[in-house]
């Protein structure tokens, strides 16, 4: 698995969180991009955090009706 992939839990997963994150942190405009070309990835990781805890019962994720899990790179 890529080290850039982060996990998020949102009640509005149908709104395409990757589009929202791209709007907040566009590619190629950060000073860090001149070195490693991954400045936006660092900012997205800082906002999303490294992990999420999801309760499980009887082998199933306990998510609400409108909740979902998305892996974003």
Residue 1 domain flag: no
3-state class of 68 per DSSP?
strand
Q: What is the DSSP letter of 57?
A: E
Q: What is the pLDDT of residues 6-23, one digit of tens each?
A: 566 666 655 665 567 777
CATH number of the CATH domain containing 14: 2.60.120.460
Residue 13 domain flag: yes
The answer for residues whose C-beta is within 8 angstroms of residue 25's C-beta and 6 or more apart is: 40, 43, 44, 47
Sign of CA dihedral 17, 39, 48, 53: positive
What's the number of domains the chain is made of?
A: 1
pTM, rounded to two decimals: 0.47
Residue 35 domain flag: yes
The answer to whether the CB of 9 falls within 8 A of the CB of 54 is yes
Q: Which domain holds residue 64?
A: 6-72
Q: What is the pLDDT of residues 24-71, one digit of tens each?
A: 888 898 888 898 888 888 888 888 777 778 899 999 999 988 888 877
């Amino acid at each position: 698995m890529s080290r850039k992939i982060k996990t998020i839990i949102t009640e509005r997963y149908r709104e395409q969180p990757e589009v929202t994150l791209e709007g907040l942190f566009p590619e190629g405009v950060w000073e860090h991009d001149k070195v490693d070309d991954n400045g936006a990835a660092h900012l997205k990781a800082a906002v999303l955090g490294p992990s999420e805890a999801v309760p499980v019962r009887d082998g199933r994720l306990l998510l609400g009706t409108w909740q979902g899990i998305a892996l974003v790179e």
